[in-house]
Structure 1
Amino acid sequence: MESIKLIRYSPWLVHFNTGACNGCDIEVLAAITPLYDPERYGVRLAPSIRHGDILVVTGVVTKKSAERLKRLYEQMPGVKYVVAVGSCAYDGGVFKGSYSVVGGANKVVPVHAYVPGCPPRPDEILRALLLLLQREKQEVLEAGGK
């Protein structure tokens, strides 16, 4: 129960680009700037995958990147969430059906939230993170936690 409290109060993000055009990457980085001030909610980038609570995935998942994505997810400790950012991370986007594309991030790891768009706006990325935390807080309250 203690690990749930930690993520509820200060979630740390790990950003993983599976091979995108960098449109979503730029928007994810914009979402963590002082303009949107995610640190007021405790949201910040983790220095290492071993400190991360939320894995933010951008880009289309290819056969090569699928193995790395799975390995990163397995290295995350305790309670962990995955947020797929952009159309490519959702289902492959414009690359869907290509010979080297596995599909969306959900084909490799469990995805807890999706941020639609090509690329999505930074405020929508932050909103998805906050809704994920709100949903987790509600689950804790329903389970009888504090």
Structure 2
Amino acid sequence: MGLEQKLGDMGIVTTSLEKAVNWARSNAIWPMLFGLACCAIEMMSTQASRYDLSRFGMELMRASPRQSDLMIVAGRVSRKMAPVLRNLYDQMPDPKWVIAMGDCASCGGVFNNYAIVQGVDEIVPVDVYVAGCPPRPETLIDGIMKLQEKIRHEPLRKWQ
């Protein structure tokens, strides 16, 4: 008895090229770690065995912007660090996405002074904001899942 007889009629599977490409993109995101403060510890713990970010196709955090398509900004960004952040973002290949992790990256947090950028969206375009001070690893995973959903619905023409 062959495999065909056991399975029966498999039918035809159809999808669009756009959906297939976006599915592949959303399940193979390569994040670049950009940990600046206490949020970085929570970001690193998502890679550990308890939360296992590898389930989402993110085997390890990259240290090079040329190998990454997701920048997770975790922590407060100072005015001196802002040009470095922008330079790393510009070196990332398209398509690229940004997650602002924590209150400091999202809106400056409790640091309302001249030295801290009041939201990383002043420097780079942010796709998903993850709230908390610091946010738990589950919250970052939820933000990543929201980003995956956003990627699945992006038109391919945007990147041409």
Alignment TM-score, normalising by the size of structure 2: 0.78
Cross-structure match for 2:49: 34
Using the alignment, how far apart are the partners of 1:6 and 1:77 within structure 2? 16
- Bigger fraction of residues in strand: 1
Equivalent of 2:69, from 39, 53, 77? Answer: 53
- Bigger fraction of residues in helix: 1
Determine if the alignment matches structure 1 residue 93 to structure 2 residue 109: yes
Query: Displacement of 1:54 after TM fit?
Result: 0.6
Unaligned stretches of 5+ in structure 2? 1-17
Cross-structure match for 1:10: 28
What is the number of residues matched between the two proteins?
138
**Contact 1:3–1:78 (8 Å) recurs in 2:** no
Determine if the alignment matches structure 1 residue 65 to structure 2 residue 65: no
Query: Displacement of 1:72 after TM fit?
Result: 0.6
Question: CA 1:56–1:111 in 2, change beyond 3 Å: closer, same or farther?
Answer: same
- Amino acid in structure 2 at the alignment position of 1:9: N
Using the alignment, how far apart are the partners of 2:44 and 2:72 within structure 1? 11
What CA deviation, in whole Å up to 9, does each residue of 1:83-119 have, x standing for no partner?
00001001110112x1212211101000000110001
CA root-mean-square deviation: 2.1
Alignment TM-score, normalising by the size of structure 1: 0.85
Determine if the alignment matches structure 1 residue 134 to structure 2 residue 138: no
**Contact 2:22–2:154 (8 Å) recurs in 1:** no
- Amino acid in structure 2 at the alignment position of 1:135: K
Query: Displacement of 1:28 after TM fit?
Result: 0.2
Task: State the percentage of identical aligned residues.
Answer: 37
Largest Rg, 1 or 2:
2
Using the alignment, how far apart are the partners of 1:48 and 1:5 within structure 2? 24
Cross-structure match for 1:107: 122
